[in-house]
């Protein structure tokens, strides 16, 4: 097949609060060089680029991040940065991208993924997307199913049903159901069954198909999107968009569409995927020293007697961590986090507490 109608839609609107204090309102996770020397957004673009040229890459983000996106992605046309007036969950974000693509290309196929994931096997990822695009051309909603390597309780799962067919050596299955984040016992059953995959939030479908599904399943959202689409290239588009977004409730594509639509399929992959959901997950991805510590950042770190810890020092700072075991230490110019790795998930609660105390300067 030709990929001329294949577009990448990179969702870069998250706040990454579990990666606080590096991830902040002004520079959330996806704009940071967390896992490599380059920002996660840049890595995400570079990963898809050999398959989708930059002219067909859309980045959806908040207005305040437009310059950051353009600065981090050389060659990205300005009109490919799609600005959401407010974060309203993945369904409106994807719907808006679909509208933008249909305004360009009636046959647009969109591969949608977050800007803040790590995928070790980039070539495998691109092969999977190319195969999924063929399935999408048949009007299916394709979601990548991440082969689980552990009974993770932090992710949703996809249960596969019967085989739909094989595309470029990739078997594709009907989705039997989606399962919310399970407890550990259930997660273990899931993994042992061989029938469950992690829901990594990577979707491939035709722009027309997803809008058609929204028309049936999310009519309110669809109505607002239509009203925006009708004035797409006109001056009144921007005020219309703002008005539309103000009215919308928060809704995810999983809950709003995927769990209810009919033609939902999954294409399993084993591509070294991680959502880098928290500091412990990030640490697990990075090379450790002889004491099993991961030491990062432009600043200096001394770690006498520390083991199994992630230690980050910002520019000009010296971090001395004595006798820490399996901790995360993230030291930024104004804020410091010290947290056991097994509580890294709860950093979100810290951010909520800062919000509750109105400590805006640290958010």
Contact of 131 with 167, CB cutoff 8 Å: yes
* Residue 322 interacts with its own copies (CB under 8 A): yes or no: yes
Contact 169, 138 (CB under 8 A): no
Choose the binding region for its own copies from 49-57, 154-162, 227-235, 346-354 (rule: CB under 8 A). 346-354
Selected from 184, 305, 352, 355, the binder of its own copies by CB under 8 A is 305
Binding mask of the shown chain, residues 126 to 165, with x at each position contacting its own copies by CB under 8 A: ----------------------------------------
φ, ψ for residue 14 (rounded to 5)? -70, 170
Q: Round to whole Å and give the CA distance between 154 and 142.
A: 22
Shortest distance, CB of residue 201 to its own copies, whole angstroms?
27
Q: Nearer Cβ to its own copies, position 247 or 320? A: 320
Q: Is 318 in the site for its own copies (CB under 8 A)?
A: yes
Instruction: Give yes or no for a contact between 20 and 26, defined as CB atoms under 8 angstroms apart.
Output: no
Q: How many CB atoms lie within 10 A of CB 242?
A: 12
Please state, in angstroms and as integers, the Cα–Cα distance from residue 286 to each residue in 27, 78, 270, 315, following that order.
Answer: 21, 33, 19, 20
What three-state secondary structure class fits 266?
strand
Q: Tell the smallest beta-carbon distance from residue 132 to its own copies (Å).
A: 40
CA atoms within 13 A on the CB side of 243: 10
Q: Using the rule CB under 8 A, is 340 a contact of its own copies?
A: yes
Q: Are 198 and 156 in contact (CB under 8 A)?
A: yes
Which string of x and - marks every residue 8-37 that binds its own copies (by CB under 8 A)?
-------------x----------------
Q: Which is nearer to its own copies, 257 or 319 (CB)?
A: 319
Read off the tokens for 125: 């990822």
Residue whose structure tokens are 């679909």: 98
Query: C-beta of 285: minimal distance to its own copies in Å?
Result: 21
**Hey, CA dihedral for 190, 191, 197, 198, is it positive or negative?**
positive
Q: Smaller CB distance to its own copies: residue 80 or 306?
A: 306
For residue 21, whether the previous peptide bond is cis, meaning omega lies within 30 degrees of 0, is yes
> In the complex with its own copies, which residue's Cβ is closer, 290 or 334?
334
> With the C-alpha atoms ordered 36, 273, 20, 328, is the resulting torsion angle positive or negative?
negative
Is residue 359 within the footprint of its own copies (CB under 8 A)? yes
Count of residues of this chain found to bind its own copies when the rule CB under 8 A is applied? 33
From 1, 247, 284, 320, residue interacting with its own copies (rule: CB under 8 A): 320
Per CB under 8 A, residues contacting its own copies are 21, 300, 302, 304-305, 313, 316-324, 329, 331, 334-340, 343, 346-347, 349-350, 353-354, 359, 362
């Amino acid at each position: 097949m030709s990929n001329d109608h294949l577009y990448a839609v990179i969702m870069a609107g998250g706040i990454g609060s579990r990666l606080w204090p590096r991830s902040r309102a002004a520079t959330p996770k996806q704009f940071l060089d967390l896992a490599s020397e380059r920002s996660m957004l840049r890595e995400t673009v570079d990963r898809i680029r050999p398959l989708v040229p930059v002219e067909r890459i859309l980045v959806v983000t908040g207005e305040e991040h437009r310059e950051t996106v353009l600065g981090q992605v050389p060659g990205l046309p300005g009109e490919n940065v799609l600005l959401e007036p407010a974060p309203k969950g993945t369904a409106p974000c994807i719907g808006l991208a679909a509208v933008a693509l249909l305004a360009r290309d009636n046959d647009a196929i969109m591969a949608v993924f977050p800007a803040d994931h790590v995928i070790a096997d980039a070539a495998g990822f691109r092969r999977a997307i190319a195969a999924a695009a063929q399935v999408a051309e048949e009007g299916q909603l394709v979601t990548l199913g991440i082969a689980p390597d552990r009974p993770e309780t932090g992710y949703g799962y996809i249960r596969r049903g019967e085989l739909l067919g094989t595309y470029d050596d990739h078997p594709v299955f009907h989705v039997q159901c989606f399962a919310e984040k399970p407890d550990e016992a259930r997660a273990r059953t899931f993994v042992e069954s061989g029938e469950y995959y992690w829901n990594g939030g990577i979707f491939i479908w035709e722009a027309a198909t997803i809008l058609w599904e929204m028309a049936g399943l999310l009519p309110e959202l669809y109505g607002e999107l239509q009203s925006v689409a009708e004035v797409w290239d006109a001056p009144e588009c921007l005020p219309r968009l703002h008005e539309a977004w103000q009215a919308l409730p928060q809704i995810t594509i999983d809950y709003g569409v995927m769990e209810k639509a009919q033609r939902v399929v999954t294409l399993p992959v084993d591509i070294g995927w991680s959502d880098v959901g928290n500091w412990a997950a990030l640490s697990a991805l990075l090379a450790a020293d002889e004491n099993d510590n991961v030491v990062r950042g432009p600043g200096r770190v001394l770690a006498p007697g520390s083991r199994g810890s992630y230690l980050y020092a910002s520019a000009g700072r010296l971090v001395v961590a004595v006798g820490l075991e399996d901790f995360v230490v993230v030291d930024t110019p104004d804020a410091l986090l010290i947290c056991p790795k097994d509580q890294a998930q709860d950093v979100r609660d810290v951010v909520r507490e800062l919000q509750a105390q109105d400590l805006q300067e640290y958010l």
